[in-house]
Amino acid sequence: MRPNRKAEKWQPWSLAILSGGLQVLIFPSPSLGFLAWIALAPLLVAILRPTIPGSAAHTRQPRLRAFLLGYVSGVVWYAGSCYWIYHVMNSYGGLPPVVAIAVLLLFCLYLALYHGVFGLLLWTATRAGNANAGPALLLSPFVWVAVELARARITGFPWDLLGTAQVGNIALTRVAMFTAVYGLSFEIVLVNAGFAAAFLVPLRARRTLVAGVLAVAALLQAGNLFRPGPAASGRVATLVQVNIPILEEDQWTPEYMQQTVGEVERTSVPAARDAEAQQGIPGLIVWPESPAPFFATDRNFRASLSHMAQLANAYVVAGSLGLKQTPGEERPRLFNSAALVAPSGEWVAHYDKIHLVPFGEYVPYRQFFSFAGKLTREVGDFSPGSTRQPLDLGSFKLGVFICYESIFPDEVRQFARNGGEAFINISNDSWFGPTGAPGQHLNMVRMRAIENRRWVLRSTNTGITAAIDPYGRVVAVAPAGQRVALNAPYARSSETTFYTRHGDWFAFGCAIITVAGLLFLHYSRGPGPLIWTRN
């Protein structure tokens, strides 16, 4: 039978698109995490199979083709996972639908370069097209983690790193205390490489290899069945979901501002008093990052928070906007902040967000992207803070990170390394609208709890407001889209994990091994171990 040349031509591209689609399905909202074990296998086969002699698609695959196969897979992945960018740009950026779609497309085309680099490096590991897929498959987990590290360190958008798909797998996530989420990504890609190998070996060996890899994947996935007992808590915090609408600047009149603050205060105080009665010590009230212009320099806002702290006999951590002007500056700098108010009513400390959202909290290269300034129309451009020191509550310390900062493992761990005994995450996820993004964001916060073995108290504007234990489990959650106060358990801990103390050693190690492996394969002689297909 003559081979179908047209089908052969398009098969690798179909596999790349399939891989991108599977990567979408493993994250919220589908949340089909078990598919993570096969999500990358089609892409690995698409990149490596054409390099194998005896296969129907055998060719000396050019570098560009390998890059483009990874690139296409990445475009599909970003479009399917980050489609919420269209909602943000259209609903709150004031962009027409066509322009908002164009912005989303540019975003996907830009960040898909990382998937493309992954494909290119895999091709390089085949020694410029020689029949040598074995080393490439063995090297693929290291390459993937190195590329994820680049996403975090270079572009600054490590959204939905692959290992996050297994955040509910308590047995498996124990490795994250040593390697962060990167260790989980490594394991997932290693299993995917096993499945890919099954399609790059002679048929007589395929059944055995598939059975073996399936057994490994099933064993690792079975970690979801592990259910340890409740984590020790002992303290109660009042997490307030303020449910404040996103309005134009001129809609925030002094009267409406005072009315809003008063209503949120009346929601907070009764719950905080109940929490104090339960634990017999001053409580903790957390207000989220919100779209309201809650300026820390506003006398009325300061007086309201001070009054609430005294009334509830509680510490208050509240999202706010800080202003600071130094001599020589034309205008004050604006900060996205979390203010700390003591039970006495005194404003005692604050944390200024360091890692700002590009095109959300500041506009890089504004002369080229002036349209994106609409996203910051309610407050203007922010300046970054300078230190990740925890807030001192007297008896213990709280590490506070704001919204977007939660997706950076190395940045969050610094709060624990600097003495933070519990974490607070405040966020305004109402920008995302009815998409899968709030769930994706929550899962990344859960991973930060696991990596550092810390309780996380998460307060958001419209949801998902929750308490997360050190296993990454959501133990209390508020109903979305409502103004409500949630009394949530938590505990303090002074112990640090290996990852908290040593940071991204594993990810950097994978990057070093990737470079060393590619150099070795390039300069070594001989065909090396061979994985190939003969039909």
Tell me the angle at which helices 133-150 and 41-48 cross, rounded to the nearest 10 degrees.
120
122, 116 in Cβ contact below 8 A?
A: no
N-term to C-term CA, the chain: 12
Distance separating alpha carbons of residues 398 and 3, to the nearest angstrom: 65
- What does the block give as tokens for 308? 């609430």
Shortest CA distance to 293 belongs to which of 324, 251, 329?
251
The amino acid at residue 409 is P
Shortest CA distance to 213 belongs to which of 38, 398, 29?
38
Residues designated catalytic: 289, 353, 403
364, 355 in Cβ contact below 8 A?
A: no
Q: What is the 3-state secondary structure (H, E, C) of 216-265?
A: HHHHHHHHHHCCCCCCCCCEEEEEEECCCCCCCHHHCCHHHHHHHHHHHH
Contacts of 9 (CB under 8 A, 6+ apart): none
364, 381 in Cβ contact below 8 A?
A: no
Sign (positive or negative) of CA dihedral 27, 32, 36, 42: negative
What is the DSSP code string of 105-141?
A: HHHHHHHTHHHHHHHHHHHHHTTTT-S-HHHHHHHHH
Structural element, H or E, at residue 333: strand 333-341
Torsion angle of alpha carbons 401, 409, 458, 251, nearest 10°?
50
Shortest CA distance to 454 belongs to which of 408, 410, 413?
413
Shortest CA distance to 141 belongs to which of 515, 514, 532?
514
Residue 529: C-alpha distances to residues 130, 133, 139, 201 (Å): 11, 8, 13, 12
Q: Give exposure, 178-214, as e/b (b: 16+ Cβ within 10 Å).
A: ebbbbbbbbbbbbbbbbbbbbbbbeeeeeeebbeebb
Shortest CA distance to 446 belongs to which of 432, 415, 467, 420?
467
Which letter does DSSP use for residue 376 in this model?
Answer: G
